[in-house]
Chains A and B, each alone.
Chain A
Amino acid sequence: MSGTISRARPLSVARGRERSADGRVPGRRRWPARLRRMEESLVAYGMLAPAITVFTVFFFIPAIFLAYISFFHWGILSSATTFVGLKNFRILFQQPLFFHSLAVTAYYTVVMIPATVVLALGIALVLREAVTARRGGIWRSAVFLPHVTPVVATSVIWVWIFNPQFGLANFVLTSLHLPALGWLGSTTWALPAVMIDSLWHSLGLYVIIFLAGLANVPRELIEVAQLDGASRRRIFRRIVLPLLSPTTFFVVILSTVSSWQAFSQIYTMTGGPHGGAGGPAFSTTTDALLIYQTAFSYDHFSLAAAMSMVLFLIILLLTLIQKWISNRLVFYR
């Protein structure tokens, strides 16, 4: 969203300059150049106003306020607001649970990114190769559908799927002569169960993005490579993947951010409003979940704000690193 705003301004400035250079726009001659430019800027800002307003009220002001209260002792009900400097951060860094939650989040992200990329790309390739154009729409819809369902509602269904006694997951495992798992009751398998739910829910979007990216790889390039004697594998690795790299990069960024912010599905699947979310034994307590609980269960808003600041810095840093890596790996036509 910030991209749209920052891009719009140079555009209107550039257009204003262009007009005043030729100076002969019919019917506008009476207007001095400066007034005309101002008018154009006003129109541009007017059109951007709704977006800017929404962004300001719901993102910008809360973000500033969050940064502000992370340096105060602040409660949602208490009127007393005292400046405490870096105390919240000091408390934070003395909490083992905070570092534990960072580790859980990192684990979650590190699994989710490759799983997302590999599965989404794989499904996109299968959809493109194996499905005729007429039936393609149905399959694409089927893959995309989970993404438009409400996370909280479908996560309840996943809780049942992962039920150790009656659930579909263990039924499948035992049918394959594999041992049944404790899933949401196990400190080892609770987070993977959440990951499966998240993948199911989010893959559809990434499949569509990859399908669009694949459609942009010119057919002739693949045909030329075939004539050049390249195997399917070589064509995929040397032609399709490099040309797809901007799409892949986009998917990686999206899934990184959404993994670091994962909340609803974890909250719902691991206990939700009944308490105990993030368990068993904090094994699914991600950063976002800890922030939520600190703020709303323990009423430590300032501490939660400090955590959010740290989370913000981590995501910013990750994005910068990814951008730096992408400069070397991503090929933009």
Chain B
Amino acid sequence: MAEIRLRGLSKSFGSNSVVRNVDLDVKDGEFIVLLGSSGCGKSTVLRMIAGLEKVTDGEIWIGGELVNDEPPSSRNVGMVFQNYALYPHLTVAGNLGFGLAARRRGRGRRAAREDERRQIRETAELLEIDHVLTHRPKELSGGQRQRVALGRAIIRRPDVFLMDEPLSNLDANLRERMRLELAQLHRKLRITTIYVTHDQGEALTLADRIVVLHDGQVHQVGTADDVYDRPADTYVARFLGSPGMNLYTLPPARIGDDLVLADGALRLPAAALPPGAGDGRPLSIGIRPEHLALAADPPGGPVSQGPRPAGSGDFPAEAAGTSPPDGATTAGRTVLRCRVDILERLGSHLLVHGSLSTGQTVIARLDAQAAVRQGEQIVLTARTADTHFFDPDSGDRLVTASMPQLAGARA
């Protein structure tokens, strides 16, 4: 077991800079997920840690040792590839034992072999593949192949465990099951793990900490709550969540105590603003679709033009403070006025795609029973605590009094 330290890690292929100046500290036994869209350099980072790719610039430390110039074999790193990369001509037992036999040196051969057989058996039992030990990879199911690949990486108890999208070749059900098993396996073995994925669901469930990578650069390092509740910048805000955060950059105008943007399409109490923000300067505002709710008492008269089902406006306004149910009040909240363009019914909930008077789109995730119709005007509100502010130029998060940014959440 070991901690990993990356310092200014960079990689270029020719003039193409793929990984830029990545700093990261992974604690001993930690499960880190590298999350980013396709082509952002996740695999390259992993391959550099494994020693399969030369470092262009920067340092890699594993267990307190600078390993930049160490070959892969002496880094004691186990890796699972996206396509499993099982040796097709060896049996499952042969696949599991290959690394053991390769490292067998000196010692009594018979004793060593006996020892290897025991390790193979134990690992196979751990992963529940002991009944297919004599099979070749092509005789296995996808899930079994996945387990063999895992087993081959963990059998010699590496200091570091690297996984490059290990679940992406499995069907949805199996993926969820394997996700849980991976989490359990990690709890059992506590091997320092770096896990690459572009699936935020995997990242949020598995990770001790998530590293959001974009264009070869680290945008944020933090727990699932950090990156979700306190995105460090607009990229992270938009990338996480499905769908991602609604973001508006608008020139503000103050009316009384409220900050009003774009002729009242968006309005919020000025008190909620981060200090110094919105004083004549444009401001980026973000609200997650799931934090939006239908307003019960639309300010300035009835909102809806179309007929609405009886009783739909009578939802009791529940305590503000938790995520609001439909029918929340607008007082002291962020308010959005929009026209409903498309409704997407997704069983447990309803996705509303709307547009502001400025033409910008808004997506709200409402209760499946929400009384909304296509074409009508609606008013959506969110808690100011769920309203995020970003610098319109740099995209960086602006810290508000009500929601302080965690120290060190940003790399």
Contacts and interface: CB of A to CB of B under 8 A. Distances in A.
Interface stretch (B70-78, B108-116, B237-245, B262-270): B70-78
Contacts of A333: 88-89, 138
A243 B138 CA distance: 14
A331 B89 contact: yes
Interface residues of A, number: 19
A224 B82 CA distance: 12
A226 B72 contact: yes
B89 A234 contact: no
A7 to B, nearest CB: 23
B71 A226 contact: yes
Interface in A209-256: 218, 220-221, 223-231, 234, 238-239, 242-243
A223 B88 contact: no
B72 to A, nearest CB: 4
Nearest to B97: A228
B87 A239 contact: yes
Contacts of B88: 243, 331, 333
A234 B87 CA distance: 14
A221 B85 contact: yes
Residue among A228, A231, A331 with the most chain B CB within 10 A? A228
A227 B87 contact: no
Interface in B62-119: 71-74, 77-79, 81, 83, 85, 87-89, 98-99, 102-103
A41 B83 CA distance: 41
Contact of B72 (A218, A220, A223, A239): A223
Contacts of B79: 223-224, 227
Contacts of A227: 50-52, 72-73, 77-79, 99
B85 A223 contact: yes
Contacts of A226: 51-52, 71-73
Interface residues of B, number: 23
A242 B72 CA distance: 23
B73 A229 contact: yes
Binding site secondary structure of chain B = mixed
Contacts of A220: 81, 83, 85
A228 B89 contact: no
Contact of A224 (B85, B103, B138): B85
A242 B89 CA distance: 7
Given A220-B81, A226-B52, A231 B87 contact: no
Interface in B107-155: 138, 152
B85 A229 contact: no
Contacts of A228: 73, 98-99, 102-103, 152, 156
B102 A243 contact: no
A225 B89 contact: no
Nearest to A241: B89
Contacts of B52: 223, 226-227
Contact of B85 (A218, A231, A238, A243): A218
B89 A243 contact: yes
B118 to A, nearest CB: 18
A229 B97 CA distance: 12
A240 to B, nearest CB: 11
Contacts of B77: 227
Interface in B241-284: none
Contacts of A221: 85, 87
Contacts of A239: 87
Nearest to B88: A333
A236 to B, nearest CB: 13
A238 B72 contact: no
A257 B96 CA distance: 40
Given A239-B87, A243-B89, A333-B88, A224 B81 contact: yes
Residue among A218, A224, A238, A243 with the most chain B CB within 10 A? A224
Contacts of B99: 227-230
Contacts of A234: 102
Contacts of B81: 220, 223-224
A230 B83 contact: no
Nearest to A223: B52
A289 to B, nearest CB: 41
Contacts of B71: 226
Given A239-B87, A243-B89, A331-B89, A225 B78 contact: no
Contacts of B152: 224, 228
Residue among B74, B78, B102 with the most chain A CB within 10 A? B102
Nearest to A330: B89
A226 B78 CA distance: 10
Nearest to A239: B87
Contacts of A242: 89
A308 to B, nearest CB: 40
Interface string A318-333: 0000000000000101
B102 A225 contact: yes
Interface in B30-83: 50-52, 71-74, 77-79, 81, 83
B376 to A, nearest CB: 47
B304 to A, nearest CB: 52
Residue among A220, A231, A243 with the most chain B CB within 10 A? A220
A179 B280 CA distance: 96
A36 to B, nearest CB: 37
Nearest to A231: B102
A243 B88 CA distance: 8
A27 B78 CA distance: 59
B138 A230 contact: no
Residue among B85, B99, B103 with the most chain A CB within 10 A? B85
A256 B101 CA distance: 36
B106 to A, nearest CB: 14
Nearest to A234: B102
Contact of B98 (A218, A223, A238): A238
22 contacts: A221-B87, A223-B50, A223-B79, A223-B85, A225-B87, A226-B51, A226-B71, A227-B50, A227-B77, A227-B79, A228-B73, A228-B99, A228-B152, A228-B156, A229-B102, A229-B156, A230-B102, A231-B73, A243-B88, A331-B89, A333-B88, A333-B138
Which 3 pairs across A and B sit closest by C-beta, in order of nearness? A228-B99, A220-B85, A230-B102
Given A226-B71, A227-B79, 4 more contacts: A224-B81, A228-B103, A228-B156, A229-B74
Interface of A: 218, 220-221, 223-231, 234, 238-239, 242-243, 331, 333
